Structure 1
Amino acid sequence: MRTRNIAAIAAALAATAATVPLLAQESKSASDGIAEYRKMLEDGNPAELFEAKGEDLWKTPRGPKNASLEQCDLGLGAGVVKGAWVQMPRYFPDTKKVQDLESRLLTCMQTLQGFDADEIAKTPFDKGEQASVTALAAWVSSMSRGMKMALPQKHAEEKRFYELGKRAFFYRGGPMDFACASCHGEPGKRIRLQDLPDLTRNPGNGIGFAAWPAYRVSSGELWGMQRRLNDCFRQQRFPYPGFASDVTVALGVYMGVNAKGAESIAPALKR
């Protein structure tokens, strides 16, 4: 009897061991399937429509001052767009602030075109001039596609914002006791079929920070990094942060510096 029991246990263990590779294979196949799905859609990424709109908005005289944004300084000199996205957020001497792409675009829209930056910041996403900011971000980021992330960390404020972003990334709170790090603080995590990149380090080319702005297939909208962070705060059950607030810019600095060397594919395609 004892011999038969031992034999039965051994057989059960052998069967369990045999299923482990199959489960791993199924998991891998799910991830591969999502990757293939994205690949198929790449040639027709709707973000291209936003890119075209953004380029038009950049070159067209608009606003109370009837001026274009062609003299906007994104950190590399007035009007220089190529390569600017992969070096943002960064410190700007004229505003004496560390700014990300979207907050810098607000500054240019106010100083060059006469728009009210505060009013635009209060406007809901995808409405009015907020939609213009998103389209502009799509075009500007596309002009750095294929380039490596290389955020500067020379200025004291850039270094300070990195540390602030790090603290915000690991800060846990709210009814769910969540932090950004709860989902993106270590490798190998996923939600359902969605792989979650480790944003405490360079997660690889075109993943994480280097992929935004991005077109969200699930919502049929283009999201900038500000909106993406806004949704992360929602999922943590935190109050929504102010558009282009210091905490969102600081998180951008932290993730962007950690992504050093990653190839930008923005605006990308997301689920």
Structure 2
Amino acid sequence: MRLKGRNSAALAVAAAATGLMALAGPAQAQKTSIEAIEEYREMLQDGNPADLFEAKGEELWSKKRGPKNASLEQCDLGLGPGVVKGAFVQLPRYFADTGKVQDLESRLVTCMSTLQGIDPQDIIKGQWGKGERANTTALATWVAAQSKDMSFALPQSHPQERTMYQVGKRLFFMRGGAHDFACASCHGEEGKRIRLQDLPLLTKNPGDGVGFAAWPAYRVSNGQMWTMQHRLNDCYRQQRFPEPDFASDVTVALGVFLGVNAKGDKSAVPTIKR
């Protein structure tokens, strides 16, 4: 009921802003709409539903599950078995045991498979918000939250990490689909906006808690928790591209490109989005 109250208050703020926009000039109206959205987010941030997903992820991390009846407490996210704090802001990165560059979600799939015996296809072929894919989202939310306010510093020392950055860069600017869109169509220039919201420029450091540094996030509009995998998947949907496989090299490469560009930005996750 508390969350419902916050939503009602936030909608009132937005309605008030709309009334002001009708009386103001174009520049003032634009400023007012942005401020109203920021107020909306601030009002919802206290009691962010993402907290529930974070709590579930923490429980899943230490819970013995799967055919092997084991926990994930020995999962190596890049800083050593079981080390969680600081791992998120250094992902995606290269892992010698898989011979691949992996992001947080794909690395969690590896750990769930090797440590717990959970079939990776249950996640890869699953549905958003259901079954083991939902568990992966909760785990990613908890892991990411352990690095909140820490600066991104993705490694680029391994050749595969540098290759994935270049692949991600090409994918970012690649146009296609029914509307001939690319990631850069929305996030390749300064000053772009959509649905009254600013679109950050993601070819360089966009700022703390913006772009790559803002996901996982709770989406108020559909009541779902979205990881970066989900965010990128939806970007492709909006571009009218075929849906990428969960944890595909395509989405991981884009994560490398965005993450390296975000170097120095502080993670704000879990955040809350419209």
- The equivalent of 1:248 in structure 2 is 251
Question: Match for residue 212 of structure 1?
Answer: 215
Aligned to 2:198, the other structure's residue is in SS state: strand
* 3-state SS of 2:180 partner: coil
1:42 aligns with 45
> What is the TM-score normalised by the length of structure 1?
0.91
- Once residues 44 and 103 of structure 1 are traced to their aligned partners in structure 2, the CA distance between those partners, rounded to angstroms, is 29
Residue correspondence of structure 1 range 180-191 to structure 2 within 5 A: 180-191=183-194
Could you tell me how far apart the structure 2 residues matched to 1:24 and 1:255 are? 31
Deviation of 1:43 after TM superposition, in Å, equals 1.0
Residues 8-59 of structure 1: CA distance to partner in whole angstroms, max 9, x if unpaired? xxxxxxxxxxxxx932121011111111111111111000000000000000
Output the CA distance in 2 between the equivalents of 1:71 and 1:78.
5
> Which SS does the other structure have where 1:74 is aligned?
coil
Q: Distance in 2 between matches of 1:22 and 1:204?
A: 29
Question: For residues 25 and 208 of structure 2, what CA distance do their matches in structure 1 show?
Answer: 29
Q: Which residue of 1 aligns with 2:182?
A: 179
Distance 1:26 1:202 in 2: 28
Offset at residue 65 of structure 1 (A): 0.3
C-alpha displacement at 1:119, in angstroms? Answer: 2.7
Give SS of 1:112's match.
Answer: helix
Matches within 5 A, 1:80-229: 80-229=83-232
Question: Take 2:37 and 2:123, find their aligned partners in 1: how far apart are those partners?
Answer: 36
Cα deviation for residue 194 of structure 1 reads 1.5
Question: Can you give the 5+ residue segments of structure 1 that lack an aligned partner in the other structure?
Answer: 1-20
Distance 2:199 2:47 in 1: 24
Instruction: Give the Cα separation in 1 of the matches to 2:260 and 2:188.
Output: 15
> What is the root-mean-square deviation in Å for CA atoms of aligned residues?
0.9
Q: Larger Cα Rg: Structure 1 or Structure 2?
A: 1
Q: Which contiguous aligned blocks of 4+ residues in structure 1 show a shift greater than 2 angstroms?
A: none
Deviation at 1:221, TM superposition (A): 0.5
Distance apart, 1:222 and its partner CA:
0.2
What is the aligned counterpart of 2:235 among 232, 240, 253?
Answer: 232
Structure 2 unaligned segments of length 5 or more: list them.
1-23
Check conservation: 2:122, 2:133, Cα contact below 8 A: no
Q: TM-score, normalised by structure 2?
A: 0.90
Give the whole-Å Cα distance in 2 for the aligned partners of 1:33 and 1:262.
Answer: 25
Return the alpha-carbon distance in structure 1 between the equivalents of residues 189 and 271 of structure 2: 23
Could you say what secondary structure the match of 2:25 adopts? helix
* Matches of 1:52 and 1:194, distance apart in 2: 30
Which amino acid letter does the alignment assign opposite residue 32 of structure 1? E
Q: Partner letter of residue 183 of structure 1? A: C
Q: Distance in 1 between matches of 2:189 and 2:84?
A: 34
Q: Determine the C-alpha separation between the residues in 1 that align with 2:123 and 2:212.
A: 24
Aligned-partner SS, 1:72: coil
